[in-house]
Amino acid sequence: MMQGMPNILGKGQDLHQSEASPVSNLLETAGNMLKNGATSDVVEFVNETLHEIISAVIPAIEDAHDQDQALINSMWDQFDVAMAALEQANLQIQHVRDERGEISDRHKHCRVEEDEICQEKRRCDYDLFGLWRDWVEEETEIRSIEGHINGHFCQTDADGHYNANGTLATFRSLSVGWMSSFIDVMHIYRGEVDYDEKRLICEELYLGLDTKTDDCDAQQDNLENSACAHAEAVRTAQAELPCLGMQP
């Protein structure tokens, strides 16, 4: 037993090295004396050594154990603090992430509405272009008839004098034909009216698209700010949590 004690003490408690060293010397001395025979002096020395072990070494070991256990308990408590802080940080990150998700959903919905207005405006622009071409065709036809009528009623000779003879049957017959053509075209003439009506609708869609785009752009800015806040919350948690409760 006495030979085993130095080995136990040799594993050491840094806080009580001063107590362990003298006792180790005593045990070593006692061991040498026992090898040479158990005299009364040896027995007395051994008793004193055992008393020293009981009164000093064992309490020192127990005290070191208590201090180590207290340190472990303290570090364990610090882990609890760190875990509580981590949970709080995760809740904050979750809140920011949920908020970002809601903003993202609103932004996506806004862009869908923007696209619908844009597609409607594009269709309106194509329709407006078609009406413009119809108007051009009608105007071209009317101008052509007007040109014929003007040439018919305002005939001039080589000197530039008007020489149309309205008393001739052929003149009146041609006049009826050209005027009838003009009246027929004017009865169906709606190019300018249809174009102007459609233009107002397209302009309203254009203004609506601008308004919706401004709204979606503002929501996109809000989404970008929310994404930055999310990333910042994660970085803050990563930077702060490893340091929580780690002080000795």
Can you give the pLDDT at residue 23? 56
% of the chain with per-residue pLDDT over 70:
62
Q: Is the pLDDT of residue 200 over 80?
A: yes
For residue 154, give the 3-state DSSP assignment: coil
Supply the pTM of this predicted model.
0.52
Numbers of helices and strands, H then E, in the chain: 6, 0
- The larger pLDDT score, comparing residue 147 to residue 152, is at 147
Q: Is the pLDDT of residue 39 over 90?
A: no
Residue-averaged pLDDT of the chain: 76
- Answer yes or no: are the C-beta atoms of 202 and 121 closer than 8 Å: yes
Give the CA dihedral 77, 81, 82, 84, nearest 10 degrees: 130
Q: Tens digits of per-residue pLDDT, 17-38?
A: 444 555 566 666 666 666 666 5
Q: Length of the chain in residues, anyone?
A: 248
- Answer yes or no: are the C-beta atoms of 178 and 152 closer than 8 Å: yes
In sign, the C-alpha dihedral spanning 87, 93, 98, 101 is: negative
Give the CA dihedral 10, 12, 18, 24, nearest 10 degrees: -20
